[in-house]
Amino acid sequence: MNFFLLSLLKAAVVAGALLFTLAYLQWVERKVIAHIQIRMGPSRVGPHGLLQPVADIIKLLTKEDLIPPYVNKFFYMFAPFLAITLALTSIAVIPFGPEIEIFGVRTRMQLADLNIGVLFILGISSVGVYGIVLAGWSSNNKYALLGGLRSSAQMISYELPMALAIVAPLLLANTLSLGELVEKQGGAFLGVVPRWHVFQMPFPQVVSLIVFLIAGFAETNRIPFDLPEAENELVAGFHTEYSSMKFASFFMAEYANMITICSMATVLFLGGWQPLWPAALGSSYVPSLLFAGAAAVMIYHGLHPARPKDRYTLPAAGVVFLLIAGVFLLPPLRPFLIPVFWFASKTGFLLFVFIWVRGTLPRFRYDQLMRFAWGFLFPVAMLNLLATALVVALVSR
Amino acid sequence: MPESYVELYFPVFLQVLIAMAVAGGMIGGSYLLGRKVKNRIKDTPYECGITPTGSARGRFSVKFYLVAMLFILFDIEAVFLYPWAVVYRELKLFAFVEMFIFIVLILCGFFYIWKKGALDWSQQERPPEER
């Protein structure tokens, strides 16, 4: 097939999946936070609030799009545009699976396997600061300006430990291409322990992974590092003056960045689409078993008399999940679906950790935040890097 | 496997176009769909209902500027590490020693700015005679 046509098709699929995930990540976050706080969460719009994202989008689109007279109009409009564009761009280099053959076409399950993939992601995320700074500055509001400044200082401070934490696994893999990075993490030690960089001999990258994730929380302005929008001191920080979809677009960018950070952590440290244990030991049946188990739970609860509201919806969802479990067993689709399953489950787990941390930790004070970045994360990342380098130099032949 | 740079970067370009279309659609859509009601109070900067005083373009701490400068210095150092990591297995201990010297020099600078208090945001204002 024509290369350009194929790219267009892949880009459309990836963008569609990403937008769908963005809409429902919001729902998942609200549900998880609600259950952490022993509440119900969204439950009115559709079964278990599943149509809530659709309702939110309609509401936000039809709200008044306020452009205050005192703002710098061009940058005020441009800032959310820039934030979303950059947040949605970095997904282009993330590998979702190996090179596959589908309907007679060989292709990588990745939009573009750039040989500088890691630098591309770092570059895009650095430019992402501009969206927030411009939003804060152009709003012409004291709180927005302070929020924008805080945010820029915070994001560039945490960019440094993040960059250092990324170099350590690169020492083991010696490549900047994300596709190759994942391929080098295939196989297993002693037949069971996967060769992911977190477990990789000679120097497991556990410290790097933790530093990377902490810096990731700060880069995406998530609790416990959400000082740019600390509502009890700065009203709402850099997006105080924004309304309707422009307001939502900053949240959308935040969620898209979260997905990027989690995919990057998966690719760099958790073996991307490589399974948890070798396929020879049956790891390729895990998705079917998981979905079938979920289906069994759903059908059991749906038919339980104590849940009259879920009488039809839960068994129906259970049947759908059983079908999905069956699809994972179809031989022509297996080489394509199983890597995607592993990639999505690892990324999904990290996203859950992001939400879990938001439901657990309080916010830092600003001086603590900066001291933590420069005085703790930076030296730790540096020491880990030097230790990795020394061990690799001594051990490798 | 794509051979030329055009083929390699075309999907990235496509993704940028899609992202711009989504962003434009969202912002433009709400601009067209939302109803607009103007009034005097709504047109003042939002400061929790208090009448705003002064301009938003006030002074802010010089520390933000310092952090930006330090970031550029240290980030350039971090970028030097990337090509070093890619060729590391070919050079081994030689590369380690070379980079170790470089990092020690950088860390001397880091120690200096740390002792100078450039990164200490909780610093108390010193009395004027000590300045």
Count of CB pairs separated by less than 8 Å, A with B: 218
Contact call for A81 and B81, based on CB within 8 A:
no
Is residue A234 in some structural domain?
yes
Is residue A19 in some structural domain?
no
ipTM of the complex: 0.85
Residue A3: other Cβ atoms inside 10 A:
14
**What range does the domain containing A94 cover?**
56-274+330-396
pLDDT the model gives residue A28: 92
Is residue A301 in some structural domain?
no
List, for residues A330-352, the tens digit of each pLDDT value: 888 888 888 889 999 999 999 99
| Percent of all residues in chain A with a pLDDT value above 70, rounded to a whole number | 97
For the entire predicted model, the pTM comes to 0.90
Is residue A22 in some structural domain?
no
Please tell me the distance in Å from B69's CA to the nearest CA on chain A. Answer: 10
Is residue A41 in some structural domain?
no
Number of domains present in the structure of chain A: 1
Interface of B with A in 2-31 (CB under 8 A): 2, 7-12, 14-16, 18-20, 22-24, 26-27, 29-31
What is the C-alpha end-to-end distance of chain A, expressed in Å?
Answer: 43
Whether the per-residue pLDDT at B131 is higher than 50: the answer is no
Nearest CB to B9; choose among A77, A112, A366: A112
Please tell me the distance in Å from B54's CA to the nearest CA on chain A. Answer: 9
Beta-carbon contacts of residue A158 (< 8 Å; ≥ 6 apart): A214, A215, A218, A219, A225, A373, A377
The two tokens of residue A145 are 């300006």
B45 and chain A in contact, CB less than 8 A: yes
A390 and chain B in contact, CB less than 8 A: yes
Domains observed in chain B? 62-130 (1.20.58.1610)
Is residue A284 in some structural domain?
no
d(CA B91, CA B89): 6
Residue A141: other Cβ atoms inside 10 A:
26
List, for residues A115-163, the tens digit of each pLDDT value: 888 999 988 888 888 888 888 888 888 888 888 888 888 888 898 899 9
